[in-house]
Amino acid sequence: MHRIVRVVSLALVAAFLGGCSAGESNVAQGNREGILHFGNGSEPQGLDPHVVTGVPESKIIDALFEGLTRKNPWTLEPEPGAAASWEFSEDRRVITFHMQPEGRWSNGDPVTAHDFVWSWRRALDPAMGNLYAYMLYPVENAEAYATGKIDDPALVGVRALDDMTLEVTLNAPTPYFLQLMDHYSSYAVHRETIERFGKATDRFTRWTRVGNIVTNGPFQLQNWQLNRRIVVERNPHYWDNDAVRLNGIVFYPTENIVSEERMFRVHQLHYTNDVPLNKIPAYRKMADTPFVEAPYLGTYFYLLNTERPPLDDVRVRKALSLAVDREALTRNVLYGSNNPAYAITPPGTLGYQPPQLFAFDPEEARRLLAEAGYPGGDGWPGLELIYNTSESHRKIAVALQQMWKDALNITVTLSNQEWKVYLDSVSQMNFQVARRGWIGDYVDPNNFLDLYITDGGNNNTGFSDPVYDELILQRAPRAATQEARFALFHEAETRLMEQMPILPIYTYASKHLVHPSVKGLPPNLMDFVNVKYIHLEDVPLTEFELE
């Protein structure tokens, strides 16, 4: 008994201290062996492209699978993926994709047009419960099938003319449709593998596990340790294997950004998912800094509930918005890494510039508030602002609370809510002012502007304008040219911002630490990573000296 206790105690002490010994860093070893160590934010929900919905999932799925096209990371233009080429019909409603002649699944099976037909029907099948089914709604009858209005999947506008030719029929010409072809909801999955482990629409099967999963991308799944790491290795059957330069990628669920940054500094990571705000000034000052920031296709804003007083008065909504000094906020609270926003669409989305109808103007804000019946804040009934619990949301809310106090002499109370409670409040419109963010799924103003159509699922403000609805739903899709289409969007967004159902605050920025050895991983508007272009150079590892 005593001996056992002694042996166990010694073993424990040894294990405890053994954890302290240092070995070669991940980055040094990775550079030599061509393995990228990638901070990926969180543990993925799963790897089934028709089940998951998050950004960390998309990074892994993009390495394992391939859609019909794949974006160039510099230009974001579609390049051949599972499809070698494609052409549009005269009226731009029919797209014919020609499959890669050498396209192979990781088990050696050919990737055919039939795979895509079967997969898209699966993605749209109502029984699948796919939250991203709507990404395929531009396809003829896709929405009707996904919402159970028709039962026959053969009516959906995707057909295999033969093994190598896929024909897609759209409801209307959709300028951004090709962009959706490298969103994971449009990826092909391996039918035989899925059916071996259960029904096509089953969410619970083991088909995505190591050893089971068959994929068609540049990499294949090698190892998956829950909450620790996911390892992918080169897929020798990939049609463009010669162009792939990495031998593997290790994805880490780096939820704690403080420790992620420290892992980067001790050369355990090549790339971080995020950078702690308070470290940004020091990284900016560094010579040859690994800090990379770029505009990111998303807007941070507040929802204003137009159905509840005092926000049912547009003058109050405008007063609140005009009293916010966005320049000061982004400079002082956000360390200058974000740009102020004055509309919902981020500037430069596919070349589109949103209208700017107002600027910081406390004078005008006071006048509007007085006109609405609260001169100098007199008789102000009070207002509550809700946000989901988070330090950065709190900081911003506190700053705005103070700006409103200073400029308008009104009190706004802050209330943080736990994530699911907050979601519930927002979807039930059980709030006066609520924090909100929107990240674009594809680069097109439509992705932001169709949020505010009457009764849109993500509208959540009570905003309703038949002219706006007509511009977005009827006129813009039928515009003859991109310029005409953007003019219609501009007109719609002007109407939106005149009514101010939302209070735009800033546009997002992506922030990463990228090790100097990593090449071919440029920043872009989608924060999109194309693993095919990445390679590692064997540079000497130096200390990152922070002031």
Partner 1 sequence: MWRFIAGRLLQAIPVILAVITVTFFLVRVAPGGPFDSEKAVIPEVKAALEAQYRLDLPLGQQYFAYLQDLARGELGPSFKYPGRSVNELIAAGLPATAELGAYALLVAVVLGGLAGVVASLKPNSAQDYIPMSVAMIGICMPTFLLGPLLVLLFGIHLEWLPVAGWGDIPGDKILPSLTLGAAYAAYIARLSRAGMLEVMSQDYIRTARAKGLPEWQVVTRHALRGGLIPVVAFLGPAFAGLLAGSFVVETIFQIPGLGRFYVQAAFNRDYTMILGTTVFLSTLIVLFNLLSDILAAWLNPRLRAQYGEA
> Which residues are at the interface with partner 1 (CB under 8 A)?
9, 12-13, 15-16, 19-23, 43, 45-46, 48, 51-53, 126-131, 133-134, 146-148, 202-209, 226-228, 252-253, 255-256, 258-259, 262-263, 266, 268, 418-425, 427, 437, 456-458
Shortest spacing between CB 24 and partner 1, in angstroms: 12
Shortest spacing between CB 141 and partner 1, in angstroms: 15
Sorted by sequence, the CB contacts under 8 Å of residue 402 that are 6+ apart come out as none
CB nearer to partner 1: pick between 223 and 411: 223
Alpha helices in 208-279 (DSSP H): 257-265
For residue 392, the one-letter residue type is: S
CA dihedral defined by 362, 366, 368, 369, rounded to 10 degrees?
130
Shortest spacing between CB 57 and partner 1, in angstroms: 11
Residue with tokens 């405008």: 318
**Pairwise CA distance, residues 240 & 257, whole Å:** 35
Closest by CA to 322, choosing from 376, 288, 364, is 364
Shortest spacing between CB 260 and partner 1, in angstroms: 9
**Pairwise CA distance, residues 145 & 153, whole Å:** 7
**Pairwise CA distance, residues 239 & 222, whole Å:** 19
CB nearer to partner 1: pick between 227 and 542: 227
CB nearer to partner 1: pick between 23 and 540: 23
CB nearer to partner 1: pick between 43 and 325: 43
Shortest spacing between CB 23 and partner 1, in angstroms: 8
The answer to whether the CB of 64 falls within 8 A of the CB of 232 is yes
Alpha helices in 268-390 (DSSP H): 280-285, 314-322, 326-328, 362-371
Shortest spacing between CB 127 and partner 1, in angstroms: 5
Cα of first residue to Cα of last residue in the chain, in angstroms, is: 55
Q: Annotate 12-35 with b (16+ C-beta within 10 A) or e (fewer).
A: eeeeeeeeeeeeebbbeebbeebb
Shortest spacing between CB 268 and partner 1, in angstroms: 6
CB nearer to partner 1: pick between 368 and 443: 443
Cβ–Cβ contacts within 10 Å for residue 369, how many?
A: 29
CB nearer to partner 1: pick between 407 and 502: 502
CB nearer to partner 1: pick between 112 and 119: 119
Q: What three-state secondary structure class fits 510?
A: strand
CB nearer to partner 1: pick between 442 and 533: 442
Shortest spacing between CB 462 and partner 1, in angstroms: 15
**Pairwise CA distance, residues 54 & 48, whole Å:** 12
Shortest spacing between CB 295 and partner 1, in angstroms: 21
Across-strand partners of 83?
A: 99
Shortest spacing between CB 22 and partner 1, in angstroms: 5
HSE (CB half, 13 Å, CA atoms) of 470?
3
CB nearer to partner 1: pick between 166 and 180: 180
CB nearer to partner 1: pick between 127 and 473: 127
The answer to whether the CB of 460 falls within 8 A of the CB of 429 is yes
What tokens does 330 get? 């982004």
Residue with tokens 């010694």: 10
**Pairwise CA distance, residues 507 & 354, whole Å:** 12
What tokens does 455 get? 């009764």
